[in-house]
Amino acid sequence: MTVQREGSAVDQVIQPLGLRDFAIKEGQGFFLNGKPYPVLGVNRHQDIRNKGWALSAQEEVNDAKLIQEMGANAIRNAHYPQSQNWHDIHDRQGTLLWDEIPLVNVTRNTRAFWQNTEEMLREMVSQLYNHPSSIWWGLFNELGTRPMPPSDEQLKHLQAVAKELDPQRFVVAASCKYNQSFNLVTEQMAFNHYPAWYHESAPSEMKNFVEKRSKSVNKPIAISEYGAGGNIAHHTEGAPVRPEPRGPFHPEEYQAYVHEGDWAAMKDDPRIWGTFIWNMFDFACRGRKEGNVPSLNDKGLITHDRKVKKDAFYFYKANWNPEPMVYLTSRRATTRKEPITEIKAYSNCPEVELFVNGVPVGKSKPDSFKIWRWEKVQLSPGKNSIRVVAQSGKTILEDSCEWQLGNAKP
């Protein structure tokens, strides 16, 4: 649209045009343009270390590139509408976006509260309506976690407002309270669940959770949040042991273990129309001290400053991005105590060989989720050079790290 004065353009607004259709089919999942399209999503806060929300346009581009590199094709903009530039990027990139209003945790049973909530919804839909990347309108997140229960009638009114403004897109909500009437309000439903993190269960429990929750709402669901905390300076050897979720020690290895198990439990489940990792990036969170870092939620797959991709990032890259890759895990666990250990790599290549101190250990076989393991590998006292070499056709890739066993000087 161009505004002219005396034949000269004085203002102009350019809106994107994107043509697509989408559907969610029971027992079949999400469809884009008539074809099955697994929704491989992440959550994202528009927050970066030392800048807060004051991200530049280029920093938003960089965030989008990191998400694309991992292979994700959908983003939940939690828990508020994010910038026009962010949407422009994903219009061009073809990412699916879930936009939501900040109706989070608690409601107030006052006219002013619900008028304000409706105004936010109307503004979000109106402002983002022309973005083809926007697929879902999010109505609320984790209501019922505070004493004041939400009003189903008010939520039903908001659902009706959203459909009146935009009959085509889905209205969705994310809940962590089960068997509640407000879970039946929106046309699509999603649940936040953290097995093996906030719940003392194995990650495989996610499968039972999906079965129960999809039955409770009588339709397919999404998992709108899942994951675990991870500090790149914290490490463990041996079998995974669940740490205290809000405690000072959040080993990177345990975070990867949770994601490996969660994804194994959810992949190809016909009762799930989408999954969204919590979270793509570590983000500021007042009042928390997770992994011994004040005011930080450390469930990101990438650090708050965007400088380090955690092990779990590469697990998803191996599974979601077809570009050949190989990555050695526990690379930052440089000080080792156990002389006999497991060595693990992520790779989507058909062949990976391990070398320790230049000596070939052998070629392993991956599991169904691109995880390669070499059991009972003998380390030498002092410095150990760990290297993996992967081959995909004519492409040769390798990754390496150094570990120090015991107190011997390298």
Helix (H) or strand (E) holding 16: none
Residue 100, classed as helix, strand or coil, is: strand
Cα separation, 373 vs 333, whole angstroms = 17
Answer whether residue 409 shows pLDDT above 50.
no
Answer whether residue 177 shows pLDDT above 60.
yes
Cα separation, 191 vs 221, whole angstroms = 7
Q: What is the pTM assigned to this prediction? A: 0.95
Contacts 24+ apart (CB under 8 A), 319-322: 319/71, 319/263, 319/348, 319/369, 319/370, 320/40, 320/70, 320/71, 320/72, 321/69, 321/70, 321/71, 321/348, 322/71, 322/348
User: Is the peptide bond preceding residue 79 cis, with omega within 30 degrees of 0?
Assistant: yes
Across the range 357-376, mean pLDDT stands at 97
- The token pair at 94 is 């073809």
Cα separation, 263 vs 299, whole angstroms = 15
- Domain spanning 326-405: CATH superfamily: Immunoglobulins (2.60.40.10)
Residue linked to tokens 């345990």:
254
Helix (H) or strand (E) holding 220: none
- The token pair at 74 is 């959908």
- Cα dist from 293 to 73, 117, 188, 231, 303, whole Å: 30, 34, 36, 9, 12
CB 39 within 8 A of CB 275: yes
Residue linked to tokens 């693990």:
344
Residues 32-57: pLDDT tens digits?
A: 999 999 999 999 999 999 999 999 99
Residue linked to tokens 């300076």:
233
Residues 54-78: pLDDT tens digits?
A: 999 999 999 999 999 999 999 999 9
Answer whether residue 359 shows pLDDT above 60.
yes
- Cα dist from 97 to 77, 83, 86, 273, 278, whole Å: 7, 12, 10, 14, 15
pLDDT classification of 148: cutoffs 50, 70, 90: low
The structural architecture, per CATH, of the domain 22-320 is Alpha-Beta Barrel (3.20)
- Beta partners for residue 398, in sequence order: 389
Residues 246-272: pLDDT tens digits?
A: 999 999 999 999 999 999 999 999 999
pLDDT classification of 144: cutoffs 50, 70, 90: confident
pLDDT at site 10:
87
Answer whether residue 125 shows pLDDT above 70.
yes
314-333: buried (b, 16+ CB within 10 Å) or exposed (e) per residue? bbbbbbbbeebbbbbbbbbb
Q: Where are the domains of the chain?
A: 22-320, 326-405
The DSSP annotation for 275-339 comes to EEES-SB-EEEEEEEETTEEEEE---SB-TTS--B-HHHHHHHHHH--S--EEESSTT--EE--S
- Reference 100, options 126, 120, 84; nearest CA is 120
- The token pair at 256 is 């990867």
What number of CA atoms fall less than 13 Å from residue 231's CA on the CB side? 20
Answer whether residue 137 shows pLDDT above 90.
yes
Across the range 223-228, mean pLDDT stands at 99
pLDDT at site 149:
67
pLDDT at site 282:
98
Q: Active-site residues: which are they?
A: 142
More confident residue, 317 or 364: 317
Across the range 172-188, mean pLDDT stands at 95
Q: Strand pairing of 221-225 and 293-297?
A: unpaired
Mean pLDDT value across the chain: 95
User: Is the peptide bond preceding residue 297 cis, with omega within 30 degrees of 0?
Assistant: no
The answer to whether the 22-320 and 326-405 domains have the same CATH topology is: no
Answer whether residue 11 shows pLDDT above 60.
yes
pLDDT at site 410:
43
- The token pair at 328 is 């050695």
